[in-house]
Amino acid sequence: MLQLTPQMKVLVAVEPIDGRKGIDSLAQLCRERLAEDPFSGVVFLFLTRSKTSVLALLYDGNGFWLAKKRLSKGTFRWWPETRSSSLDVQAHQALTLLAGGNPWSQGAPVWRQVRRHEFFPKKDDYKARSLGTKSP
């Protein structure tokens, strides 16, 4: 399993590709069409022509990773369409895109403060309820 972290650079290739391509062919696409070094540690995401699968290519310093996600139903509807050959996205946007969602929607913020939740407001109330002397 590949884990995308906020520190990772993620590039989405805009133009769909042939889903049968392997590591060497995708690395060549990175060099020629995207003008990026496939050995740089960037996560490259490619959409297949059928729009039902996404290929992820990553070099980790020791070798290449090639992962493929195929949807069991439907297609990737929110793939970016721009004039450039690639689009730089943040990790949380890439994860949303890989889940088949819209990474540009106004959803939850990237970071939000976690608030403490009191399950039992007062210790005395819990004791009283467990003994049956106080009604809920």
Q: Domain limits of the chain?
A: 10-105
pTM for the structure as a whole:
0.75
Whether 51 and 15 have beta carbons less than 8 Å apart is answered as no
**Per-residue pLDDT tens digits for 8-29:** 999 999 999 999 999 999 999 9
Q: State percent of the chain over pLDDT 70.
A: 76
**Per-residue pLDDT tens digits for 80-97:** 888 889 999 999 899 889
Say if strands 10-13 and 43-47 run parallel, antiparallel, or are unpaired: parallel
For tokens 């960037």, name the residue.
42
Which one is predicted more confidently, 4 or 44?
44
Q: Name the average pLDDT for the chain.
A: 84
